Amino acid sequence: MKLKFKHVALIGKYQSVASSASNASGANPRTALEAVAHFLEDQGCDVSVEFDTARNMGIADYPLVSVAQIGKQCDLGLVVGGDGTMLGIGRQMAPYGVPLIGINQGRLGFITDVPYHGFASSLGQMLRGAYVEDHRSLMNARVIRDGHCVYKAMAMNDVVVNRGASAGMVELRVEVDGHFVANQRADGLIIATPTGSTAYSLSSGGPLLHPSIPGWVMVPIAPHTLSNRPIVLANTSRIAIEIVAGRDASASFDMQSLASLMHGDRIEVTRSEHHVRFLHPKGWSYFDTLREKLHWNEGVAST
């Protein structure tokens, strides 16, 4: 079958290269990325490597490309790493619409779901069009201080407001579409996308949201009032979180953080116009991923 993706950009988990340690897949990150690159060349693909990946891994055998160049020149982005690596590149690639495949070298693999061991079988078929396409929504977030935007970011997983290092809780005023919801005293508050519903939101008692649901989940972290429960909202909502009380509160947007929020600061969350395009192996199912990663049915005899 004819190749559907001719020019492929490789993005790797280069942060762990310095230790030269093997990760959950058992392979050094550079060794794994080079193995994937050689496979792509054997399939007839033109291979480029993302600039920071190549620089930090010491790879000099392939053309280097920036994120913007991947968006404009490449047919496919291929991430060799874990979910954190995919989150970072997914946010950057979303405005360009370039599809992404994740080869998992991490521990979880909710969104990097092609196992490194045996990747050739799945990847060879996907390069020729045998895949399932999955679109994931994104959030835009801004921090407003004295009427001015002092920070803005995009998030694929979640926007989280956390209390500071002190023992006290943080008090937050929450509005949805301009309507007052509640003043919440808690360790923090999470606004999560369906993708992020399997991350921090889940560990804080939030529900799982199927990726096709156009919604978000708002989850309090250790709330003072036990009736303060998670709530699912439409992703067309405009959510505002104001810091009322508490010291050294911070906000994080996936892996991006802003420390030392001030009283009166407002974190505004809206739906992004962009989404991330993930490609999965043929036959992929979200429920298979949940069952495997969350260890459902362990100890239960198959029927």
Write the single-letter amino acid at 224: H
- The Cα 192–Cα 120 span in angstroms is 33
Per DSSP (E only), the strands in the chain are 7-12, 46-50, 64-65, 76-81, 100-104, 114-115, 131-145, 148-155, 158-162, 170-176, 179-186, 188-192, 215-221, 231-234, 239-245, 250-253, 256-258, 266-281
Tell me how many domains the chain contains.
2
Q: Tell me, what DSSP letter sits at residue 86? A: H
User: pTM value?
Assistant: 0.91
Tell me which of 61, 83, 113, 158 is the catalytic residue: 83
Known catalytic residue: 46? no
Q: Which whole-number Å values give the CA distances from 203 to 17, 70, 88, 200, 222, in the listed order?
A: 29, 35, 21, 5, 11
Judgement on whether residues 124 and 198 belong to the same structural domain of the protein: no
Note whether 125 and 142 are same-domain residues: no
Asked if the structure places residue 65 within a domain, the reply is yes
Same domain, 107 and 158: no
Q: Which domain holds residue 164?
A: 138-273
Is residue 285 in some structural domain?
no
Q: Residue 49 sits in a domain of what CATH number?
A: 3.40.50.10330
Q: Is 284 part of any domain?
A: no
pLDDT tens series, the chain, 303 aa? 799 999 999 999 866 544 444 455 557 889 999 999 999 999 999 999 999 999 999 999 999 999 999 999 999 999 999 999 999 999 999 999 999 999 998 777 899 989 999 899 999 999 999 999 999 999 999 999 999 999 999 999 999 999 987 768 999 999 999 999 999 999 999 999 999 999 999 999 999 999 999 999 999 999 999 899 999 999 999 999 999 999 889 999 997 888 889 999 999 999 999 999 999 999 999 999 999 999 998 766 555
